[in-house]
Amino acid sequence: MKHELPKLPYAYDALEPYIDAKTMEIHHAKHHQTYIDKLNAALATHPELQEFSAEELISDLTSIPTDIQTTIRNHGGGHANHTFFWSILRPGQENNSPEGPIAEAITKSFSSFEKFKEQFSNTALNRFGSGWAWLVISNGILEILATANQDSPLSEGKTPLIGIDVWEHAYYLKYQNKRADYINAFFAIINWDKVNELYESQ
């Protein structure tokens, strides 16, 4: 099985003005595609691993043969992280905020949605260099963390509920060095219905 670029559930311009169409197109059609191409190239030398999803591969990195372990970590991670990222976004809404079970869980864990937003934003802002900030769940506990490069919380046994790509390729065309503005814009386009679904399937 070859890994393939997933179709976006919305048009490239659907997240305007928060994320511009050009950034979305390059990010999806070029960056994400490149992770997939390099993942497929690595797996061509290990056909026994071709039946596994990217998520399965990075969930158990120590079982991956050492000659392709770093490639799977970087490019399997890149594929899984971007597939996840597209899935938790939607066209912008005014006063976009969580409802239902995830809202209750966030309030319980971080005292309020505003406090959560502040802590998550600071984590994303302070991720030095390239990487991601996440809201994850493990053993029923919510946690905010950051990873470097394309490392995934799945590799630590933690399940992502929200993730923001803070590589410059995710925002530089529109926001240049203003990562904080991009992070703030991200909050307008989080698909909380999807996040609720992920939370409730735990």
Binding site for Mn ion (CB under 5 A): 165, 167, 170
Closer CB to Mn ion, 69 or 149, in the complex: 149
Q: Nearest to residue 85, comparing CAs of 166, 176, 201, 164?
A: 164
Q: How many CB atoms lie within 10 A of CB 39?
A: 24
Least Cβ distance, residue 162 to Mn ion (angstroms): 15
Q: Which residue is nearest to Mn ion (CB)?
A: 165
Least Cβ distance, residue 139 to Mn ion (angstroms): 29
Name the token pair of 163: 């993730």
Closer CB to Mn ion, 21 or 44, in the complex: 21
Closer CB to Mn ion, 28 or 158, in the complex: 28
Q: How far is it, in rounded angstroms, from Cα 107 to Cα 12?
A: 33
Q: Is 177 exposed, middle or buried (0-12, 13-18, 19+ CB in 10 A)?
A: exposed
Closer CB to Mn ion, 98 or 153, in the complex: 153
Q: How far is it, in rounded angstroms, from Cα 23 to Cα 89?
A: 14
Least Cβ distance, residue 61 to Mn ion (angstroms): 20
DSSP for 162-192 reads EEEE-SGGGTHHHHTT-HHHHHHHHTTSB-H
Cβ–Cβ < 8 Å for 29, 6: no
Closer CB to Mn ion, 167 or 182, in the complex: 167
Least Cβ distance, residue 184 to Mn ion (angstroms): 18
Least Cβ distance, residue 112 to Mn ion (angstroms): 30
